[in-house]
Structure 1
Amino acid sequence: MGKKSQAQAQVHLQEVKELGRSYIDKVQPEVEELEPTPSGPGQQVAEKNELGRLQYSLDYDFQTGQLLVGIVQAEGLAALDIGGSSDPYVRVYLLPDKRRRHETRVHRQTLNPHFGETFAFKVPYVELGGRVLVMAVYDFDRFSRNDAIGEVRVPMSSVDLGRPVLAWRELQAAPREEQEKLGDICFSLRYVPTAGKLTVIVLEAKNLKKMDVGGLSDPYVKVHLLQGGKKVRKKKTTIKKNTLNPYYNEAFSFEVPCDQVQKVQVELTVLDYDKLGKNEAIGRVAVGAAAGGAGLRHWADMLANPRRPIAQWHSLRPPDRVRPPPAP
């Protein structure tokens, strides 16, 4: 790609507009927005522990060996957004296995969402007693880490599954994440259906894991286009030296016909460049129709807004926990 075409492909941050607020406003909020005053909503929630409550259902299908978890609704959720509302969704998993998890759709600007979604976990009945069901409610934020509102934990040994269960439970404060933080990456997606063109703009990353002895890293990003679980195209950014908060604003385009856009996946891997040894992966994210959670939401928002760049922050995950979709 020549210098002229590279310049045309790049997008300035102020041009990446998002729902109601600009990218810069969301990524770099004022200090007052980050730290609520003692009289603000955040302090009131902490004092009264008014996180809200969740209604759920449980049933066990003995024929298929599946636990059916229904997320019915929530009410009185804590307001985590500056406007006094939240964009809640629920993440569901069975401890000790956090990898197999489900997420509801995001409900915009409400503290009383009605979900009406059911998820199935294939677990032998004799093993259920050693499992703990976790239903964690989060506030979705496109431009920063999603905040945990609260969670409900149900030891399955305490549940009688001889008949269906329908219950309300108060949300409790979620414990701190035990997993080591790898950092976050912000990128935009843009799809032009008439041209069959998918553009990925790697904007920046922040709080990356320290990989070098000196306490910094030399990060760069690999962008792979996958089809049928196989990597078919590869691009990469420039290397940024001695930083854990690199800024890129580099654009990459892929030809993806309309009839293939639901069959591909984009995988972004942040690596630490090592001049003498092997480049080590810091973390990875995937977006696409077969991705889950934030990766699926970002892809769906891109398709719902053709020809418009949609930017979003994603938390990096360990590379071995981001698996390509199986071939059809």
Structure 2
Amino acid sequence: MPRPPQIRRGSDKMEDDEETGDAGGWRCWCKCCDPCWQCLNGLWSWCWGRGERNKAIKKEDITYILQQNRRASGWTMRKESTATTAPLLDLRALDFWSGFTGSTRSSTSEPQPVQPKLLLSPGRRDTISSQGSADQIRPDLYETISAEDDMAASEPCPSGPFGALHFFLSYDINSKSLIVRIIEARDLPKPIQLDSSKTDQAHSNPYIKICLLPNQKDSRQTTLRKKTQNPRFDESFSFEIPFRELQRRTLQIVVKDFDKYSRHRVVGQVMLPCEDINVVKGVHFWKQLEAVQAMSQEDLGEILFSLCYLPAAGRLNVDILRAKQLVPTDLVGGAAPYVRVSVVINDRHIKTKKTSYKKYTLDPVFNESLSFDVNSVQLADCVVVVSVMDFNGGVVKDNFVGRVILGKESSGPHEVNHWKNMVQSHRTAIAQWHSLKSKSHCDQQSTASRAIS
């Protein structure tokens, strides 16, 4: 490897190095073994000031000397100056060589790139091939079996005379809600075994209603399953309730059988106190359905509306807000409920108005206002009939769902209180939930119900 040029001191001319014979070899001003920035800069200034014409050292020559010396010996110079200069970086590609052993390179084999090795736990070394390839992924190692799926595979309990029900319960601490998942029912009895008056004696059309007793108003309902004794639902419902309050409730699950031409028959029920259940972890249940005591009144759903009377304008406003848990009335085409409001004064039908119908729902939201002209004298003899109907497309007669009567003749004590509050609070909308009654019940309570088809 040739030595870098050096600078000799004390000569006016640039002479060859005596030891090496290299032309233009120089020694350092400070007589050090290697040239430094101070010496080279001083030599450049000295030669320029002397006016050497033959071979005056330029600044480019000094830079070339420094670069050649650094490449030859791996020695790095640092300029001792107050000026800021960008560092000289030697960027070279970094390779991994299989010929390296410790700190020396093997000369017997060609350098081969080495694949980085994956660090695996001892239990997962079989997931990747011995060559270290990460492209081969086994999806089965990432599948998790939840406790819910594992318990769902358990054998059902023997079905009793009313069948069996499979459901899952869990409690979400973050949302403070109870999750009820209705999975399936098995071996439901045929209609002929429990009700000889049912039109279809061979098949059931089951659906399920869920509530937390003693609050029967806040209930949930599954969709209808047609003509089956082993329905599968796979539907989940949530009840927002604090955990301590949940411990004092009883879960009631009632299986019903739909019948278009008569009352819906109750197949059976499950009563489950929540205080004895670890709902936080989540539990599967197979329960036999039990017989239900005779109910005082059929559950047809609920409706929320408000009444407001404006005496100066002589106008009665009925705002239909929403309904929930309406009983299905048709197996074909799905539900399309709407509300029909009729005003009867002195046993004479005055006027009827309707809301729009809502398709494919048993929990419709209307938010529609219906107004009727009723003066202060007529208000004392006024009867308001609110009926929930199921639209059939105008081809056949619409199905009746339920009815509520208010005014001079009422269908129940809640309706009496609602009308009284409206009369005592003019120009104020009074809203209240009402349970729908059957047509036969309303006809017995009011002549106005019989006057409306």
Instruction: Answer whether contact 1:87 1:140 (CA < 8 A) is retained.
Output: yes
Q: Which has the larger radius of gyration?
A: 2
Question: How has the CA–CA distance of structure 1 residues 113 and 155 changed in structure 2, closer, same or farther, with 3 Å as cutoff?
Answer: same
TM-aligned CA deviation for residue 237 of structure 1 = 6.1
Match of 1:51 in 2: 162
User: What is the number of residues matched between the two proteins?
Assistant: 206
**Structure 1 residues 171 and 227, CA gap change in structure 2 (3 angstroms):** closer
User: How far apart are the structure 1 equivalents of 2:203 and 2:165?
Assistant: 17
> 1:66 aligned to 177, 181, 187, which one?
177
- Alignment partner, residue 153 of structure 1: 271
Q: Name the residue aligned to 1:5.
A: none
| Structure 1 position 77 matched with structure 2 position 188 | yes
Q: CA deviation at 1:280?
A: 6.8
User: 1:322 maps to what in 2?
Assistant: 434
1:111 paired residue among 224, 229, 250: 229
Q: Which runs of 5+ in 1 are unaligned?
A: 1-47, 185-223, 242-247, 268-274, 288-297, 324-328
What is the aligned partner in structure 2 of residue 235 from structure 1?
342
* Post-superposition offset of 1:128: 1.1
Alpha-carbon distance between aligned partners in 1 of 2:210 and 2:358, rounded to the nearest angstrom: 33
Cα separation, 1, equivalents of 2:394 and 2:283: 46
User: Percent identity over the alignment?
Assistant: 23
- Secondary structure of 1:126's counterpart equals helix
Report the Cα offset of residue 127 of structure 1: 1.0
Determine the structure 2 residue equivalent to 1:307: 394
SS of the counterpart of 2:247?
A: helix
Q: Output the CA distance in 2 between the equivalents of 1:114 and 1:136.
A: 15
Deviations 1:116-161 (A, max 9, x none): 1111101100111110000000111223221111100110012112
Amino acid at match of 1:54: L
- CA shift for structure 1 position 312: 2.8
Quick one: structure 1 residues 258 and 101, their matched pair in 2 at CA, closer, same or farther if it must change by over 3 Å?
A: closer
Please give the per-residue CA displacement for 1:26-58, whole angstroms capped at 9, x wherever unaligned.
Answer: xxxxxxxxxxxxxxxxxxxxxx96111111110
Match of 1:264? 366
| CA separation of 1:106 and 1:316: change in aligned 2, threshold 3 A | same
Residue 103 of structure 1, CA deviation: 0.5
Q: What residue is the counterpart of 2:124 in the other structure?
A: none
Bigger relative CO (Cα 8 Å, ≥ 6 apart): 1
Deviation for aligned residue 1:63 = 0.4
Cα distance in 1 for partners of 2:383, 2:355 equals 29
Query: Once the 2 structures are TM-superposed, how far is the Cα of residue 315 of structure 1 from its aligned partner?
Result: 4.6
Q: Measured at CA, do residues 183 and 278 of structure 1 come closer, stay the same or move farther in structure 2, by a change above 3 Å?
A: farther
Which residue in the other structure is 2:295 paired with?
Answer: 177
Q: CA RMSD in A?
A: 4.6
2:230 aligned with 1:132, yes or no? no
- Contact 2:173 2:280 (8 Å CA) reproduced: no
Determine the structure 1 residue equivalent to 2:320: 226
Contact 2:190 2:202 in 1 (8 A): yes
CA pair 239-59 structure 1, distance change in 2 beyond 3 A:
farther
Partner of 1:321, secondary structure, is strand
How far, CA to CA, are the matches of 2:357 and 2:205 in structure 1?
A: 33
Question: In the alignment, is the contact (CA less than 8 A) between 2:160 and 2:288 conserved in 1?
Answer: no
In structure 1, the residue matched to 2:281 is: 163
Alpha carbons of 1:140 and 1:266: their partners in 2 closer, same or farther (altered >3 Å)? Answer: farther
Q: Distance in 2 between matches of 1:313 and 1:228?
A: 17
CA contact (8 A) 1:133 1:156 kept: yes
> Could you tell me which amino acid in structure 2 is paired with residue 322 of structure 1?
H
**1:96 is aligned to 2:214:** yes
CA pair 309-95 structure 1, distance change in 2 beyond 3 A: same
Higher strand share: 1
What is the letter of the counterpart of residue 395 of structure 2? R
Structure 2: 5+ residue stretches without partners: 1-158, 192-197, 302-317, 324-338, 370-377, 405-413, 416-431, 436-453
| Kept after mapping to 1: 8 A contact 2:255/2:268 | yes
In structure 2, the CA distance between the partners of 1:182 and 1:163, relative to structure 1 (3 Å rule), is closer
Alpha carbons of structure 1 residues 104 and 263: separation in structure 2 relative to 1, 3 Å: closer
**Cα offset for 1:90?**
0.2
Q: 1:225 to 1:310 in 2, by over 3 A?
A: farther
The TM-score normalised by the length of structure 2 is 0.38
**Contact kept in structure 1, 2:343 and 2:382, CA below 8 Å:** no
Query: Whole-Å Cα distance in 1 between the matches of residues 276 and 258 of structure 2?
Result: 31
Change (3 A) 1:162 1:276: closer
AA aligned to 1:226 is I
Amino acid at match of 1:58: L
TM-score, structure 1 normalization: 0.51
